[in-house]
Structure 1
Amino acid sequence: MSRLFDSRPGDDGLPGPARRLAVLALVLGTLMAVVDTTMVNIALPSIATGLEVSASRAVWVTNLFQISCAAFLLVFAALSELVSRRRLYVAGVGVFTLASLGSALSTSLESLLVFRALQGLGAAATLSIGPSLYRSIFPSRLLGSALGLSAMVVAAGYATGPAIGGLVLSVADWPWLFALHLPLGVIAVVLAWRALPREAGRRGGFDMAGALLSVAMLGGFFMAMDGVGHQAPAWQVVAWLALSIAAAWGFLRRQRRATHPLLPLDIFAEPRFSLALAAQGTAFVGQGLAFVALSFLFQQEMGFSPLETAWLFTPWPLAIMLVGPRAGRLADRVNPSLLASTGLALLLAGLVSLAWLDAGAGVVDVLWRMLLCGVGFGLFQPPNNRELMSTVPRERSASASGAMSTSRTVGQSLGVALVGAFLAAGAPVQATLWVGGAACLVALSASLARTPLAGAAQARRRRAAESSSASD
């Protein structure tokens, strides 16, 4: 870990000592957003009881946060080029923190939903530009290691969120879950303002029409996926999908002719970027699907309690925490696409082995399969993220970061919706895991397709570095 903060002559990014504070600001902001999602899920029954509302209405405490966050990822990534990523990140953490205070003080579901939507906007502002900030903070030679650290932080958030939520609820009421964000948010705002790289905003206009179309496109998609997952009437799902498709058509037309497009389409001209983005999206379909399907499998088919189920999930994020940073460091030295493909192969093997689980299988049978999935995903994600961020020009980092965050969120949402659709159709839980395996197979195909391209690019970088060393 210490090598992340070593400086060498000619390094880009921040000096070694300055990186520590900047990274701490990013870690705190990311943890608050990630922990919040899993922590609040645990509290939904308590919120429903405390506010005297039905469980179906209380679910919107989570849904509205996720939808408002996902719908604005591309918008905030583009906006960061105008106001600077440092200012946007500080504003995002500030809004998230103030909205957390409002959530803690809410006495009705309506006011809580308003503040949850604001929390989602704050989270979108930070998550949309997080990867691009890592690229600005760290030198290019350490980009994989830095993104491995980011993967570890996200995995830690997912792993600890339920435990933190359960611990707080065992000694206090649900508003204290939101109050926990206040001291961390204040610290993150101060650190981000002081330590994140200062940069001038781009001159020029903002693609407002593209922003509105982007929100309609993503918002409509996530409302449709939520409807599928909760078995909403078919006409509602179709209506939201129609809105999303129409907005997507308009969005693409707008991006081709806008002076300052919200999402510059030229970044997709690089095959490695497009294939890495496709691999990420479909891999997250598999992971999102597996997380929901396995909850049903462990509890309804295998008879484990909710607490036992939580423990059975632990090896997956724990393996990502352990493997992710090492995979990131390795991706700085060897072909990242080859590493990512190996990880996807392991993830595919893990999902297939889980699909073959017998209802009478023991704890050990479950644990090694979950561990295999976590090792595979930990080996895939940081190298793949490195490929995504390093294949676009530095001035396009914010756009690449926004596309990356959107792809991840869309994949997760689609995976969850597929579980709901399959279960509503009466399909066995194991069948949904086979669909997750199919998604991983698509991801593996996309990853393998770019491996020769990545190897050639790495060879060019190595020759350039050797030539530079020789000239010195």
Structure 2
Amino acid sequence: MNRGIVLAILSIGTLMAAVDTTIVLLALPSMTISLHTDLYHTIWVLLVYLLVLSVLSTQSGRIGDIVGRSKVYNLGFVIFTLSSLMCGLSSDVYELIAFRFTQAIGGAFLTANSYAIIADYFPPNERGRAYGITSVGWNVGALVGIVLGGVLTTFLGWQYIFFINVPIGAVAVVLGVKNLKDVNTHKSSLDISGTVLLGTSLTLISVGSILIASNGVTMPEVAAILLGIAFLPAFIYNEMKVKNPVINVSLFKEKLLSFSLAASFLQGIGGLSITFLLIMYLQGVRGLSPLDSSLLLTPGYVVASVLAPFMGRFADKGKPGAVAGVGLLFIFASLMIYYFALTPTTPFPEILGITVITGIGSSMFWPSNAAAVMFNAPKQYYGSVSGVSRTLGSIGTALSYVLSITVATLAIPRYVAFEIFLGTNVLDGSVDSTFVNGLHFAFLVSAVIILAASIFSVMGGGTKKETRKNEITVKDRE
């Protein structure tokens, strides 16, 4: 099997998922006008995608363990591509949200199994480079989504941000069916009760958090979050009793795996909030258009894309946890610079330089963290662990959005924060300083989270000195 082709197929899938995360953001104002709705409805075009990824990624990875990761991955391409077509053809916001829901199902199948397929095809000492190459797909996709979203929406219409997926997906489906074959499958049954419990818990927590960001703290939202948390002990108890659990909880006795997953989750919250906060600053305080804001953020994505494969090679030398931890320190440094130096009149070249620092950190973290996670996962749970990693990352993304909007509303009305986030409003100069001070607090909170993630990454260890090898199996409970 040509590993280069495998990497290309996985990178295309990652690129498509990344494009559709960022490309929608810049198109939301146009969608709102075209579909004759309001921002509070349109924002769910973005949020439903993140929500479904959060809920389904773990289960999608487990399905890949059972029926074959390549089969599930290729099915994900088909669902994603067809749903993209239907998104572009939607005539009202409810249709669009519904097809974004199905598109996210395909995205979950893709993202939850990509790490596991690499682990199937590549030995541990070559995975860092492979994860680095696929992370180029993520960074290029995010870059293409940000810039292309503005261009397509401006000159052709928001529908084309979805239509662009169709030819890419069609080619990917053909290549995937021809070249991806199942390497490791494990016959077992699907844990339906665990799937329902985990899905219910994540849905309640995610929806409650998002609604708090949208509407403020009210009893129904708080109750939803508390109820979601209450489901977690029942889920864990279920997983300890069933024969073939969605998540084998004994995996988390492996401290190195748990530390690496914790780092991924915390980076999702603290790292991704940088983008949300900067968009609000550039559009709300500096008055830039969504397209101009995206162009200013581009250098960081370019740096991350170029450096990621090389950083992955460093991770392959045996210390992926350390490489990921150092990368997070770069991100921490960029956040502290924003905290101390960002003002309503900070020169754009300085902001551009800080994005480069963030890009260097991202290029070090993503391939190294993926290598650390999958090295410490047993073969028969590659898909499940890959899904858990993606689930934690998706929840982190949703929480980063909640953090950004919530902190912004400490200084300005909630509806104004929404409009700034979407690029449809610019702050009056009299409140610029107050709003930027609020952003300072958000950057500081994010920096603390990233510092904790860095500590967990370093504790995640390496690949050479561990006596435990990834080929071991977890003893099944009879």
In the alignment, what sits opposite 2:385? Answer: 400
Question: Which digits, 9 at most, give the CA deviation of each residue in 1:305-331, with x for residues without a partner?
Answer: 434322221222222112211110111
Match of 1:96 among 80, 86, 92: 80
CA distance in 2, matches of 1:170, 1:359: 27
Match runs of 1:194-205 below 5 Å: 194-199=178-183, 201-205=185-189
- For residue 221 of structure 1, what is the aligned residue in structure 2? 205
> How do residues 229-240 of structure 1 correspond to structure 2 at under 5 angstroms?
229-240=213-224
Q: Which residue of 2 aligns with 1:438?
A: 448
- Residue 80 of structure 1: how far off its partner (Å): 1.1
Q: 1:201 to 1:60 in 2, by over 3 A?
A: same
Q: Which residue, out of 251, 256, 272, partners 2:235?
A: 251
Superposition pairs for residues 39-118 of structure 1, below 5 Å?
A: 39-118=23-102
Tell me the amino acid that sits aligned with residue 93 of structure 2: L
Q: Distance in 2 between matches of 1:337 and 1:271?
A: 13
Post-superposition CA distance 1:42-97 (Å, at most 9, x none): 22222222221122212222222221222111111111122111111111111111
Give the deviation of 1:200 after TM superposition.
6.4
Distance change (3 Å), C-alpha of 1:197 and 1:104: same
1:193 alignment partner AA = V
1:364 aligned residue? 349
Pick one of 3, 9, 19 that aligns with 1:35: 19
1:213, distance to aligned residue in structure 2 (A)? 1.0
Alignment of 1:173-192 (within 5 A): 173-192=157-176
Equivalent residue number for residue 130 of structure 1: 114
Q: Summarize the Cα distance change of 1:206–1:64 in structure 2 as closer, same or farther, 3 Å threshold.
A: same
Alignment partners' CA distance in 2, 1:334 and 1:263: 27
**Whole-angstrom CA distance in 2 between matches of 1:306 and 1:184:** 25
The amino acid of 1:43's aligned partner reads: A
1:416 aligned residue: 401
One-letter code aligned to 2:453: A
The structural deviation recorded for 1:198 is 2.4
Q: Are 2:17 and 1:19 aligned?
A: no
Shift of 1:450: 3.8
Q: Letter of the aligned partner of 1:258 in structure 2?
A: V
Q: Distance in 2 between matches of 1:365 and 1:173?
A: 33
Task: Give the distance between the partners of 1:293 and 1:445, measured in 2 at CA.
Answer: 24
| Pair 1:391-2:376 in alignment | yes
Are 2:130 and 1:146 equivalent residues in the alignment? yes
Q: Partner letter of residue 401 of structure 2?
A: V
* Cα separation, 2, equivalents of 1:92 and 1:266: 29
What is the distance in 2 between the residues matched to 1:244 and 1:319? Answer: 39
Q: Distance in 2 between the 1:348 and 1:108 partners?
A: 42
Q: Which runs of 5+ in 1 are unaligned?
A: 1-14, 462-472
CA distance in structure 1 between the partners assigned to 2:272 and 2:205 by the alignment: 16
Shift of residue 267, structure 1, vs aligned partner: 1.7
Deviation (angstroms), 1:239: 2.3
Distance 1:421 1:310, change over 3 A: same
SS in structure 2 at match of 1:260: coil
Q: Does 1:268 align with 2:278?
A: no
Partner of 1:456: 465
Hey, what does 1:156 align to over in structure 2? 140
Seen in structure 2, the aligned counterparts of structure 1 residues 100 and 307 have a Cα distance that, compared at 3 Å, is: closer
- Give, in whole Å, the separation in 2 of the partners of 1:415 and 1:116: 20
Q: Deviations over 1:281-310 (max 9, x none)?
A: 112211122111122223334454434322
Q: Is the 8 A contact 2:150 2:291 kept in 1?
A: no
Q: CA 1:444/1:177 → structure 2, altered by over 3 Å: closer, same or farther?
A: closer
User: Which stretch shifts more, 270-279 or 359-368?
Assistant: 359-368
The one-letter code matched in structure 2 to 1:293 is: L
TM-score, normalised to structure 2's length? 0.88
2:296 aligned with 1:312: yes
Give yes or no for contact 1:299–1:306 (8 Å, CA) kept in 2: yes
Is the Cα contact below 8 Å between 1:101 and 1:179 reproduced in 2? yes
Counterpart of 1:246, as a letter, is A
TM-score, with length taken from structure 1: 0.89
Sequence identity of aligned pairs in percent? 25
Q: Structure 1: how far apart are the matches of 2:293 and 2:157?
A: 24
Per-residue deviation at 1:137?
Answer: 2.5
Write the distance in 1 (CA, Å) between the matches of 2:183 and 2:459.
36
- CA offsets 1:135-174 (integer angstroms, 9 cap, x no match): 1222333111001112111011111102112222233222
The CA deviation string for residues 438-470 of structure 1, in whole angstroms up to 9 with x for no partner, is 00111122223344x656329x99xxxxxxxxx
Distance 1:90 1:454 in 2: 30
Greater relative contact order (Cα 8 A, min sep 6): structure 1 or 2? 2
Paired residues of 1:31 and 1:154 also in contact (CA < 8 A): yes
Q: What amino acid sits opposite 2:41 in the alignment? A: R
Bigger CA drift: 419-428 or 400-409?
Answer: 419-428
Segments ≥4 residues shifted beyond 4 Å: 302-305
Q: State the alpha-carbon separation in 2 of the partners of residues 441 and 455 from structure 1.
A: 25
Contact kept? 1:228, 1:420, Cα under 8 Å: no
- Name the CA distance, whole Å, in 1 between partners of 2:106 and 2:267: 26
CA spacing shift, 1:239–1:29, aligned 2, 3 Å: same
2:283 aligns with: 299
What is the distance in 1 between the residues matched to 2:171 and 2:289?
Answer: 38
Residue identity matched to 1:432: A
